[in-house]
Structure 1
Amino acid sequence: MEWKRLLGHCHGAVRTLDLPLLVALLILMAAGLAVLYSVDGPVRGQALRFGGGLVAMGVLSRVSLVRLRAWTPWLYAASMLPLLAVYVVGTGKYGQRWLNLGVFYLQPSELLKLSLPLMIAWYLHQRPLPPSPRTVLVSALLIGVPALLILLQPNLGTATLVTASGVFALLLAGLHWGWVGTGAAGLAVAAPLAWFGLLRQYQKDRVLTFLDPAADPLGTGWNILQSRIAIGSGGWQGRGWGNGTQATLDFLPEYTTDFAFSVLAEEFGWIGVVTVLALYLFVVGRCLWIASRARDTHARLLAGSLGLAFFVYVLVNGGMISGVLPVVGIPMPLISYGGTSAVSLLAGIGLVMAVRQHHPVHGGGG
């Protein structure tokens, strides 16, 4: 009967999901919706995006990694096409970042958050490890071309995340630390060139503000200073849900997106902050645990790089709102409002779940 077949499909989908990961993600999503609700944010829109992300996660958790590996070069190439298309028909507040598809707006750079770690894992798994100089250089090219295209949109935040996901795959493959030092030196040399040739004025302002936010407290330093006030005023227990003042009185800008975690800190205090950070730590740790138990290099590199990329989201946004890092427009995972970002994050976790489903070791439980 049809209903029995439907139940069978549902059971199969649930069986491939990693329950501990799913529970932690659902709690984080609930916290994100609570923060949005407290500041009259777009709760319904975010809930719909979470729903779409959960569907993507469920579908990808059932993917055959063998088939996915075979299709990876084509997926990588296909994700590059809309990234090039934004330079012709793209739109956005600060440049060409989005494609208007009529029904919704697509940010092509989000596709690379999945296809790039897939591609690097695919490329490295069939070569001797630790990677040879030639392998490192080819990997750097596969990472650098899309990262540069994203940076030129301009979108420094996503370019950072995409680069990090590829570099993490290389590090997990046993990249020699000498290469890391060479890369750091190369970035130091390229920094002046990027400053004068690539970065827009608003991006330069963000860096200068990071160095001295008090230099222009009513201008470029306003965001960071108000974010620090929100975090500090939360104290240990917070002002209470819906009782925050920095966002509701419009002192804190971008309080549904870049600085949503500042709202959480003000309303729920350090107790709320530590709880959410513990959930993030669990998600990353679970991804790395799944990676460590994978049977082959491809699965290990894929799950590990996706888990560490999730960690970069938390690290950069947390540093950004506290003034430890420059503001680069990276959202706090599942707390900040954002459609394509939430969907790509949950889809990436779906791939991690696929690794656990298809490559368990010693029974693979947990």
Structure 2
Amino acid sequence: MSFLEYRVKFAPTGFGKVLYVNWGLYLVITACAAIGWLMLYSISGGDMDQWAGPQMKRFAAGLVLSLMICLTPIWFWRSMSVAAYCATFVLLLIVQFFGVVGMGAQRWIDIGFMRLQPSELMKVALVMILATYYDWLPDRRVSRPLWVLVPVALILAPAALVFLEPNLGTTLMLVVAGAGVMFAAGVSLWYFAAVAGVFGAGVAGIFLLRGTPWQLIHDYQYKRIDTFLDPSADPLGAGYNITQAKIALGSGGWTGKGFMQGTQSRLNFLPEKHTDFIFTTLGEEFGFVGAISLLTLYAVILVFLFWAALQNKDRFSSLLLIGIAMNFFLYLAVNLAMVMGLAPVVGVPLPFLSYGGSATLVLLIAFGLAQSAIVHRLR
């Protein structure tokens, strides 16, 4: 579809767009963020300026940006997808040479007021360019080998750079989210079966090549796998984080110990309590009731995104919504599995709860794009 056809067919226009914004979605997102602010306030011992205040300011700025994106016609974002992908890819290259090192990884670019993590931006840029590609590609070519190689290259190129940072969690998210868009576009299941076989061989290679000059991942990542398989083997060393996380979650019971009464987080037993392991603080202070309430909010967001994708008649918008939903699901699924000991610790934040500027900003950008697809959908 040409840009002119997009301008003609997509409605509404002017101030009327505001009436088509799904404010309920923004309300649910804000509710999730508010839970995060409460947890950050509690973890800091009642200090608003340490984590909660800055996070609130970032969310407010991101929400304004999200609304601006939302009210911009979806055809414009389709036309910007190639530029967004290329610019983000260049940022990933800059990280390799000039990135800021933190906690043994080189993942950030210091832009003064915050540290930007380009790998987070790539999660959105990748979905955009894949949606554009399959919107342009005729259905009869979707599963032909030559045309399958293009999206595979688009996925693997940034994934390789992110893997080198190293950032295994985000690498997996890029690959899985990209594969999700390909699946939704109608790529043959035989390709996914072949990839599953290669993945299985890769996992086998990770274990077989351990301790050799050709090992596929870093030593600390092997240690994370060992800790996942048996946290009790080194409860005061490599298994400390996950052991304390399980204690915090289990001690919360049904209703929790009460707001600002969590001992694991308040007494600093739990490392990374304001980022990767913030869910354990929620479980400790508000128990099963608080945890399931948050998961319900997340479920509402996911159901809405997938439903909006099914209802949208425009291929680009539909695939974009599915890609955003996939990314959001991977954020929360990987983080929750990680803190509950169901997956190795890979450093993936919990959406709208974990402290951090890049993830919050990228999520709000993604939801701005989702809202744009909804506001300007074919009617």
Paired residues for 1:355-366 under 5 Å: 355-361=373-379
CA distance in 2, matches of 1:225, 1:321: 9
Match of 2:91 in 1: 82
Question: How big is each residue's C-alpha offset from its partner over 1:292-311, in whole Å with a ceiling of 9 and x where there is no partner?
Answer: 11112111100111012101
Match of 1:177 in 2: 189
Give SS of 2:263's match: coil
CA distance in 2, matches of 1:148, 1:27: 35
Contact 1:124 1:131 in 2 (8 A): no
- Aligned-pair identity in percent equals 37
CA distance in 2, matches of 1:268, 1:78: 42
Paired residues for 1:160-239 under 5 Å: 160-193=172-205, 196-239=214-257
Deviation at 1:68?
1.8
Give SS of 1:261's match: helix
Q: Please say if 1:292 is aligned against 2:310.
A: yes
Question: How big is each residue's C-alpha offset from its partner over 1:68-110, in whole Å with a ceiling of 9 and x where there is no partner?
Answer: 2122112211111111011111112222211122333211112
Deviation at 1:325?
0.6
Q: Please say if 1:278 is aligned against 2:278.
A: no
Match of 2:344 in 1: 326
Match of 2:69 in 1: 60
Q: Please say if 1:154 is aligned against 2:166.
A: yes
What's the C-alpha RMSD, in Å, of the aligned pairs?
1.8
Give SS of 2:36's match: helix
Q: Please say if 1:35 is aligned against 2:45.
A: no
Deviation at 1:19?
1.4
Partner AA of 2:222 in structure 1: K
Match of 2:108 in 1: 98
Give SS of 2:105's match: coil
Match of 2:145 in 1: 133
Match of 1:108 in 2: 118
Deviation at 1:163?
1.9
Match of 2:280 in 1: 262
Deviation at 1:60?
1.1
CA distance in 1, matches of 2:377, 2:273: 41
Partner AA of 1:81 in structure 2: V
Deviation at 1:29?
0.6
Match of 1:6 in 2: none
Q: Which of these residues, 134, 141, 153, is aligned with residue 124 of structure 1? A: 134
Q: How many residue pairs were aligned? A: 353
Deviation at 1:360?
4.5
Match of 1:18 in 2: 22
Task: Give the stretch that moved more between structures: 155-164 or 294-303.
Answer: 155-164
CA distance in 1, matches of 2:86, 2:189: 30
Deviation at 1:64?
1.6
Deviation at 1:324?
0.4
Contact 1:152 1:198 in 2 (8 A): no
Q: Name the TM-score, length of structure 2 as normaliser.
A: 0.89
Q: Please say if 1:339 is aligned against 2:357.
A: yes
Question: How big is each residue's C-alpha offset from its partner over 1:16-63, in whole Å with a ceiling of 9 and x where there is no partner?
Answer: 531121111011011000000111151111111111221121111112
CA distance in 2, matches of 1:26, 1:360: 28
CA distance in 2, matches of 1:11, 1:269: 44
Deviation at 1:191?
3.0
CA distance in 2, matches of 1:95, 1:335: 22
Question: How big is each residue's C-alpha offset from its partner over 1:246-281, in whole Å with a ceiling of 9 and x where there is no partner?
Answer: 011111111000100000011111111111001001
Going from structure 1 to structure 2, the CA distance change for 1:299 and 1:105 (only over 3 Å counts) comes to same
Paired residues for 1:296-307 under 5 Å: 296-307=314-325
Deviation at 1:192?
4.9
Deviation at 1:193?
4.9
Q: Name the TM-score, length of structure 1 as normaliser.
A: 0.92
Partner AA of 1:161 in structure 2: M
Partner AA of 1:29 in structure 2: A
Contact 1:109 1:158 in 2 (8 A): yes
Contact 2:18 2:71 in 1 (8 A): no
Contact 2:66 2:365 in 1 (8 A): yes
Partner AA of 1:138 in structure 2: V
Deviation at 1:321?
0.4
Partner AA of 1:122 in structure 2: T
CA distance in 1, matches of 2:302, 2:159: 23
Task: Give the stretch that moved more between structures: 154-163 or 304-313.
Answer: 154-163
Deviation at 1:352?
0.6
